[in-house]
Amino acid sequence: MRQKIFSFLLIFAFVTGGAAQQKRASGGGAAEARLRASVSYLASDKLDGRRTGTEGARAAASYIASQFARLGLKPPGGKSKTGYMQSFPYVSGVELGKTNAVTLTRRAPAVEGEPLGGGITTLDLRLGDDWTPLGFSSNEKLYTLPLSFVGYGITAGDLNYDDYAGATLQDRIALVLEGTPDGDNPHGDFARYTDVRWKAVAARDHGAKALVIIAAEDNFRDDRLSKLSYDNAAGDAGLPVIVISRQAAAQVLGVSGVPQLAELEKRVASAAVTRRSATNSGGSATYPIMDAVNKASFLEQSRLTLATSIVRKDAPADNVIGILEGSDPQLKKEFIVIGAHYDHLGRGGEGSLAARAGEVHHGADDNASGVAGVLELARLFKSGKLKTRRSLLFITFAGEEEGLLGSNYYVNHPVVPLADTVAMVNMDMIGRLKDEKLIIGGVGTSSGWRDLLTMAARSTEQKFATTFNEDGYGPSDHSSFYSKQVPVLFFWTGTHEDYHKPSDTADKINYEGEAQIISLISNVVTLIDQTRERPAYAVAKSESQGRTMGFKVYLGTIPNYADSSDGLKLDGVRDDSPAAQAGLKGGDVIVKLAGRDVHNVYDYTYALGEMKAGVEYEVELMRGTERVKLKITPAARK
Ligand SMILES: [Zn+2]
C-alpha cells in the first residue's frame, strides 16, 4: 500500500455487520498452510524486500509465474513461463554521469593602485566531497553566474512566508539552506517544506537558473541530500539542483569557517521567524541579515560555473498475469480481474518508515498477504468446485509502492479489453485481521455492490465487523482500474505499527483470518459471476483528499502519479467538483495553474498551496495536441 495517500482513507466510513467470534469449521487448515507457505517465501530475507527492479522482485515474479503455471492458468503472452510476464518501463535509480563539475571564481575587491582588483581566484569543488547533484536535477551547463542567498528558499503562500520577497533571481543562482526555520520538527508549520522538491519549485518559479543547497550536516557524506535517489512518480526538477558541503559554503559566503556558518544560520532562522510574525500581523518586516549577506562584497564578487549530469538506470519490472477461462461460451468473453501488488520497499529508502535504511523490509502484510490471496483464489476457482462462467484474470503488480506504476501500465496496456473487464477486486494488506475488522473500499463504484456484499457476507461462515468505504480511488492498485470506469472492490485489514517497516514479518500474519477473508472474497466473485448483468459502474462519493497536506482549497482532480513528467496528467475529475465545473477531463495534462508552470505533481501541489477558495484562476492544459485555457474557482476544503 502506498504511504503518501493512505491516510486519506477511513474518513467517511459506514459500519455494518457484527463481530461474531465464531470458530471456523474444519477444513480451513489446508488453506491456512498454503497462505503461510506463500507469505513465508515472499517475505523471506532471500527476496530482500522485493523492491521493483531488483533481483528480489524478479524472484518473486518468477515464483508467482511458476505457481500460475502449476495451477494451469493461461499465460496471456504465449506458452513459456515468460508468457505470464508483462514488462513495463521503470527507473530503478540514478547515477552520476561523466560531466559533473562546479567551479567558484571570485574577483578580489579593488584596492588602491589596482583599479581592476586583486585578480581572480578559482576554486574547483570536489565531486562527492564538496558537492553532488541531486537525483532529480536537470542536466545542464551554466557559466559564471552570480549567486543570491535567499535563506531557506521557501515560498509558502499558506503560511504567508516568502524567503524570495524582494529578491530578483533572474539569471542568477539561488543559494539556500537545507531545512526550514523550525529545523526538523515534523509537526512544525514548515514541516512539508523540508522536502527539497519545494525549494526547487520555488527557485525555478522565481527565475533562478540553478539551486544550490547548503548541507545541514558538518560531515558532507552524512547529509541525506548527499545520497543520490530518484522518485519515479515526479520526474526532473526543470533546473540543476546541487548540494554543497558546509565547508564549501563557508568559502562561497566568505565566512571564516563552519562554526561561523552555523552562527549565520542561527541568525537567519530567528530573523525568518520574526519576519513571519511581522507579515502575519500586517507589517512588512525587512530581512537585514539576508541583505547583509548578499551585499557583502564576497558573495557579490563570486560566480559559479557548473555542469550537472545524472544518468537514469532502467531496470526490468513486470506484472504477472494468468488467465482462467470461463465456462459459458458467451460470458467467458467478460473478465473479472483479481489482483494484488507483489513489490515492496526493498531495504528501505523512499516510502520506508524505518528509522534508517539498510534492513530488509519484509512486507509480509504489505503485500505478500495479497499475493497469497491471489494464488489461493486461483487455486479455488481452478479446482472446479467454484467454476465461473466469466473468465478470471489473476494479476500481481510491481511498482505499486512507487506510485501504482504496474497497475497504471496495465490499464493503459490491458491484455484483455477493458470494455470487457466487468470488475476488479484488489487485495492489499489482508493479513492482520484483528477483532474481525475488515475494510472494504470501492463500495460506491457500482450500484449493486452493497447488496452483493451483504449477500456474500451472509453465505460466509465467518462474520466480519465491516467498514464500507465508498471511494474507488485510494492508496492501491484498484485506483488505476476505477480511473478507467471499471467497478472496483478493495479488501484491507487496516494499518498497524509495522506498516512500511522491516518488522512487517510473516510470523505476525493472522493466517486463519486471511483464509476467512479469502472465503468471503470467493463468495463475492461467485456472486458477481452469477449475475447475468455485469455490475453497473457508478461514480463513487469521494473521500476528502488533500486534508493531510493542510490545503485550504479543493479542486477535485485525480492526478496520475505514475505519468507526470511534462505537466500533470489527470486520470479523471470528481463529479460536481470545481475541476468538473471548469471543464477539465481525464487525460488532460495541466501545464500551468494559477500563473505557475506545472511540470510535475510537486509543481501542481505547490500551486494548490497558494490558491484561495472562491477566487478565479486560469488553468492551462494540453488536451491531445491542443493547448486549452480554462477558468477554475477552487472550493474551500471542509
Ligand atoms: Zn505499501
Per-residue pLDDT tens digits for 166-204 = 888 999 999 999 999 887 666 778 877 888 888 998 999
pLDDT of res. 28:
56
CA of 401 to the centre of ligand 1 (A): 5
CA of 28 to the centre of ligand 1 (A): 28
Pairwise CA distance, residues 189 & 273, whole Å: 11
pLDDT digits (tens, 9 = 90+) for 333-384: 999 999 999 999 999 877 788 877 789 999 999 999 999 999 999 999 998 7
Confidence of residue 593 (pLDDT cuts 50, 70, 90): very high
Using alpha carbons only, how large is the chain's radius of gyration in Å?
27
Distance of CA 341 from the midpoint of ligand 1 (Å): 9
The per-residue pLDDT for range 81-98, each reduced to its tens digit, is: 679 999 998 988 889 999
- Centroid of chain to Cα 298: 41
pLDDT at 220: 95
Question: What does the pLDDT read at residue 110?
Answer: 60
Identify which of 310, 433, 441, 324 has the alpha carbon closest to the alpha carbon of residue 381.
324
Ligand 1 centroid from CA 3, angstroms: 6
Residue 435 Cα to ligand 1 middle (Å): 22
Give the distance (Å) from ligand 1 centre to CA of residue 366.
Answer: 5
Q: Give the position of cell 503485500.
A: 367
Average pLDDT of span 106-110: 70
Please tell me the distance between residue 603's alpha carbon and the centre of ligand 1 in angstroms.
Answer: 25
Residue among 341, 343, 368 at smallest CA distance from 511: 368
How many angstroms is it from 197 CA to the middle of ligand 1?
A: 22
Cα of 165 vs centre of ligand 1, distance in Å, is 40
| Cα 475 to averaged position of ligand 1 atoms, centre (Å) | 9
Predicted pLDDT of residue 160: 79
Q: How far, in Å, from the CA of 615 to the mean position of ligand 1?
A: 37
Residue-averaged pLDDT of the chain: 86
Q: What would the mean pLDDT of 528-557 be, rounded to a whole number?
A: 74
pLDDT classification of 547: cutoffs 50, 70, 90: very low
Please give the pLDDT value at position 25: 42
User: In this structure, are strands 141-149 and 173-177 parallel, antiparallel, or unpaired?
Assistant: parallel
pLDDT recorded at residue 16: 31
- Whether residue 539 has pLDDT greater than 90: no
Amino acid at residue number 192: R
Distance (angstroms) between ligand 1 centre and the Cα of 347 equals 13
Centre of ligand 1 to C-alpha 122, Å, is: 48
